[in-house]
Amino acid sequence: MSNAVENPSNFPTMIIPRGTEIRVNDEGQLSIKTPGNLVIQNSGNYSELESTNGSIRIEPDVKVDAVNVRAREACYIEGTLTAWKVTARRISLEDNARAYIMLQESEHLELSADSRLVGNFATEKEIYLLLGKFNNQLRQLPGSVGLDALDAERSAQRRPEPEPAISDPSSREVPKQLRQAVSLMELEMRRADLDSSSRDALKELVYALREYDFKRAKLIYRDAFSELSAPSENLRRAYDLLDSHFRG
């Protein structure tokens, strides 16, 4: 009986270009930074994937989770990519590719007919503002759900959403200036002649204040008031109160 020895030529050769950096963070995520092209042929969880001078390609049937993906030239996706941020001159989703990208910076975005892109925000502020509009829906999502199970979960029975915690703008837990601003804005929202875009802008801001989400209110109040077509004296007073509180 002889011992068979595998021919080394049957195995692929791995070449690590000079200047490549490979690290593992405390969470076990791999980080790869290379000066040349980077081709991912195995599914994995990564912290950083970066090609400083070339492109990154994710092969078919490969699932990649990454915090940041950066390529000087292009990021080609043939499999599935889930990432917080992708930066490349061109992002290309080829046939049957799937990409879940929260933030993307690119000059060109190419999608094939059968590919799918979810996310695609330009700034973190856009994410914050959009998610803020769907607080109720986000609370109804299960605490743990995979991307592949989202379609099934959408049809599941969900409990009714509770009413906002603050039902009265005179609540002592809201600073006085903000209570006064809420009262003024709600008064204006009841005006029959107020246009719909102005009403929606005020509604979003009032909702944030009533939900104790002062961080979000601080982020959006200037944009909200910039959308008002003809702010009244009450609304100018409300803006001054908000501005005084958040800048003070």
pLDDT at 165: 44
Residue 56's closest CA among 23, 27, 81? 81
pLDDT < 50 stretches in the chain = 1-2, 144-147, 150-151, 153-172
Cβ neighbors of 215 (< 8 A, separation 6 or more) are none
Residue pLDDT, tens place only, 181-237: 988 988 888 888 888 888 888 888 888 888 888 888 888 899 889 888 778 898 999
Percent of the residues in the chain that have a pLDDT greater than 90, as a whole number: 28
Cβ neighbors of 210 (< 8 A, separation 6 or more) are 164, 165, 166, 169, 182
pLDDT at 78: 95
pTM for the predicted model, two decimal places: 0.53
pLDDT at 143: 54
213 to each of 38, 51, 174, 204, how far by Cα in Å? Answer: 42, 39, 10, 11
**Three-state SS for 41?**
coil
Question: Which tokens sit at 135?
Answer: 């607080």
pLDDT at 154: 43
Would you say 160 and 137 are in contact if contact means Cβ atoms under 8 Å apart?
Answer: no
Give the Cα separation of 180 and 185 in Å (integer).
9
Give the Cα separation of 54 and 33 in Å (integer).
11
pLDDT at 157: 40
